[in-house]
Structure 1
Amino acid sequence: MKSFAVAALALVAPVQAGLRFGCSSLTIQRIDPVVEPGKTPAAHLHHIVGGNAFNSTMEGDVGERATCTTCEMSEDFSNYWTAVLYFKHPTNGSFHRVPVTNNAALARGTTGGITIYYTQFDFNKDNLQKQPIKAFQPGFRMTVGSPTTSSLAQANSHIGLRYNCLQTLVNRGREMVDFPDKPCPAGIFAVHHFPACWDGKNLDSPDHQSHMYNTITRDGFTNAPACPASHPVRMPQVTYETVWDTTKFNSMWPAGTPNPFVWSFEGSSGYGTHADYMFGWKGDSLQRAMDKAECFYDGCGAIKKQTMTVANKCTVKDMVGEPIDGCSWHEDAIFERQQIWVYGQILPTVV
């Protein structure tokens, strides 16, 4: 387990390699073009950032179709998304959507969104394990985690899918497998590390995961061992960091009571945390960055950046047309519609 202080020390090492940048929120909708392509609405609500080619059916070269992006890297039209966090009121059972706030050190003007990493060798490059880094190809997609994860043992096996109870935006504390068990002074921090070894053949797989392989055995930004023969191609390790601003709900969480936060799918624990990735970098822009041996944060001198004022103008239309901020169990007309994305299914008692 790594604290923020340890990770911060790694950032000053002379062998830094990779990208770190922010993407403002693009949209919050019940759409998932990877797991449920063409289904509108999908089973549960997602928080999406990135390019404006996002829709329920995404195939081929996303980077060629998109015309704008909410990301600081102006050549990145990829889409990145996770489930949405809700506060379930412990007294009246009402649901309230938790807003996303900026991570520390993001570009000025970033609005909510997600912090994105593309690391070549995590924070410390090991020459003995060095492999060439190949950028993703048009049409590539993958997921990590699963909303069906329901046990601690299963959650522990999802390396790099963790939470922090933020003391401040720069003091994260320890990593945890489940939601915090007490209010967090600065919010709940969720991180999603994707695997970095590709089978070299498939842009996707039936489970959206088996075409990739994770050689990391510890949580956090740690050096990844060499890729196996079954998945021999080293790709950038993609990581998301999202800060959920739970602070306004702290006063409504009675001391000693269970965690009141839930994801926008069935389940009351944080074990089911998951994320989706759809590659959409323009041309060879990501490969240019990965070919830079030692750089960090700045686009590696190979990628064009845009101000977040420009990025924040990028939008997509509402393709589902439903309220997303929450509902009360007692508001039956709304509940019948809303519980689909709160729980991922219609309960048998509702007709």
Structure 2
Amino acid sequence: MKRFALLLNAGLSHAALRFACSTVSLQRLDPLVEPGQIPSAHVHQIVGGNAFNATMTGDIGEQGSCTTCAYTEDFSNYWTAVMYFRHENGSYHRVPQYPNAQLGTDGRDAPDINAGMTIYYTQKDFSSNGKQHITAFKPGFRMTVGAPTRNTLADARAEPGLRYTCLQSILTRGSETPDFPARPCPAGIMAIHHFPACWDGKNLDSPDHQSHMYSTTKGGFREAGPCPASHPVRVPQIAYETMWNTTMFNGMWPKDGKQPFVWSFMGNGYGTHADYVFGWKGDSLQRAMNDTCMFHGCGSPGKQGILKTQTVAEMNKCAVQRTVVEETDGWLTELPGQAQMTGM
């Protein structure tokens, strides 16, 4: 907790972005893995620009009219699966999300942010800017990390950037685990997704949405290792943090101690994954990566910065109309899409 507080109060001398994006949609769509399929196999929680749809192509930064992210030039889309609680009686309930610490666009806490995620773009680490040139992503770029088919501890340990933290408070950091926490957490569960930061410099995507990237990620916001010759271009290190408010279920844990949380694809914590579609307007992300700003020093309402920002109320106004109309909340007898998943 102490280290995290120091990070948030650091001077404006190291380039790094940390900002909130409220929820833009929550539904069964997946334009990367299942383009054009309505509905997709499982529910996702999505943040970012309102160009999000089942078949996203081209320069996303030029297609949206609003964004749920703090920076108004960021029309990218970021998404993960949704966490559900499985009751002993076999029913399911979506776990609500809550905002991270100090994410108001003025650097203060903003409890009225509509759920969503915390997004990071870092260069080296939180104590040095590094000496490498960081190349921003290009229009049309996209990638994924992790996979819902991974279901063993060995699989999870092989991806050090995909972790969970059992939150003692909203500021808890460290003590990361490769699976869901094995006991109730006082302030919920934080899911962490670190993407690879080495690009082949040629392909904006690949058939598996991962081969054009190479991961040297060490996790824990440590500097990623050197890029190999096959993927020589260093791009920003992207990370997501999602705060899942599991506290309402703390008194409902199964008596046998069995893990009650599942992802919306009916998978355990080992199969966590995340998707990214680049959508920053013009050269805005490259400008930020070329700057020496850090966190809210990169821009906030009433203060000049390298990036333009909007208020939390403006973030929350942006939304995507549901293409897939189905119940995803309340107590459900099965997860959305579960019949298709199990072949029923």
Structure 2 length as normaliser, TM-score?
Answer: 0.92
Q: Partners in 2 of 1:166 and 1:322 — Cα distance?
A: 31
Unpaired runs of at least 5, structure 2: 105-109, 300-304
SS, match of residue 116 in structure 1:
strand
Deviations 1:245-294 (A, max 9, x none): 11001111145511101000132x20001000000001111111000135
* 1:224 to partner: Cα distance: 2.0
| Equivalence for 1:119 | 122
| Equivalence for 1:303 | 307
Q: Does residue 1:206 correspond to 2:227, yes or no? A: no
Q: Partners in 2 of 1:203 and 1:343 — Cα distance?
A: 34
Deviations 1:188-214 (A, max 9, x none): 110100011110000001110111112
| Equivalence for 2:319 | 315
SS, match of residue 317 in structure 2:
coil
Q: Partners in 2 of 1:8 and 1:160 — Cα distance?
A: 21
Q: Partners in 1 of 2:174 and 2:2 — Cα distance?
A: 9
* Correspondences of 1:266-277 after superposition (within 5 Å): 266-267=266-267, 269-277=268-276
Instruction: Evaluate the alpha carbon distance shift between residue 17 and residue 255 of structure 1 in structure 2; reply closer, same or farther with a 3 A threshold.
Output: farther
What is the RMSD computed on CA atoms of the aligned residues? 1.8
| Equivalence for 2:82 | 84
| Equivalence for 1:184 | 185
| Equivalence for 2:144 | 143
Instruction: Evaluate the alpha carbon distance shift between residue 328 and residue 54 of structure 1 in structure 2; reply closer, same or farther with a 3 A threshold.
Output: closer
Q: Partners in 2 of 1:165 and 1:344 — Cα distance?
A: 32
* 1:308 to partner: Cα distance: 1.0
Instruction: Evaluate the alpha carbon distance shift between residue 168 and residue 140 of structure 1 in structure 2; reply closer, same or farther with a 3 A threshold.
Output: same
| Equivalence for 2:40 | 42
Asked if the contact 2:174/2:220 (under 8 Å) is kept, the reply is no
Asked if the contact 1:50/1:80 (under 8 Å) is kept, the reply is yes
Unpaired runs of at least 5, structure 1: 330-334
| Equivalence for 1:18 | 16
| Equivalence for 2:171 | 170
Asked if the contact 1:122/1:237 (under 8 Å) is kept, the reply is no
Structure 1 length as normaliser, TM-score?
Answer: 0.90
| Equivalence for 1:325 | 329
Give the residue type in structure 1 aligned to 2:274. Answer: A
Deviations 1:71-111 (A, max 9, x none): 11011000000000000001x11000111111111112321
| Equivalence for 1:345 | 341
Runs of 4 or more consecutive aligned structure 1 residues displaced over 6 Å after TM superposition? none
* 1:225 to partner: Cα distance: 2.6
| Equivalence for 1:27 | 25
Q: Partners in 2 of 1:60 and 1:99 — Cα distance?
A: 32
Give the total of aligned pairs. Answer: 332
SS, match of residue 310 in structure 1:
helix
Instruction: Evaluate the alpha carbon distance shift between residue 232 and residue 121 of structure 1 in structure 2; reply closer, same or farther with a 3 A threshold.
Output: same
Q: Does residue 1:134 correspond to 2:143, yes or no? A: no
Instruction: Evaluate the alpha carbon distance shift between residue 126 and residue 20 of structure 1 in structure 2; reply closer, same or farther with a 3 A threshold.
Output: closer
